[in-house]
Amino acid sequence: MLNDPQTSANPSQFNSERFLARDGEEPETEPRTMCFGFGRRICPGFHVANVSIWISTAMSLAAFDISKVVENDVEITSEVESLPGVASHPKPFKYSIKPRSATALGIIEQDI
């Protein structure tokens, strides 16, 4: 249902703006309304999964600077492609992850 071109324009392409109303048009349906099921068949762990992803993302962004890789003073823009399968994952690509500060590094090392 989430890959139906009749309900989503370019469903395999990332475009967060598709969920914003503009030019008097209705936004596209948010994926969470379908991906966890609905009605009597809704996933009982929906709320736990949703909150866990939010907290994990917020903690990662608070502790790390995530950016494109720089090689020989040139910023490399990797092309992100998906691997086939039931759960889509990106093919490996180059990126840079560094602690935001010495304090963040201390917290990260403490957690290890």
What confidence tier does 52 reach under pLDDT thresholds 50, 70, 90?
A: very high
Q: Is residue 43 part of a domain?
A: yes
- Token pair, residue 4, equals 């139906």
| Total number of domains constituting the chain | 1
Nearest to 100, CA basis, from 53, 58, 61: 61
Domain that holds residue 67: 36-111
pLDDT at position 2 over 80: no
Q: Is residue 74 part of a domain?
A: yes
* C-beta separation of 7 from 1 below 8 A: yes
Q: Is residue 88 part of a domain?
A: yes
Q: Is residue 7 part of a domain?
A: no
Q: Is residue 20 part of a domain?
A: no
Per-residue confidence (pLDDT) for residue 96, from 0 to 100: 92
Nearest to 94, CA basis, from 67, 74, 59: 67
Q: Is residue 29 part of a domain?
A: no
Q: Is residue 45 part of a domain?
A: yes
Q: Is residue 5 part of a domain?
A: no
Higher pLDDT, 104 or 14: 104
Per-residue confidence (pLDDT) for residue 101, from 0 to 100: 93
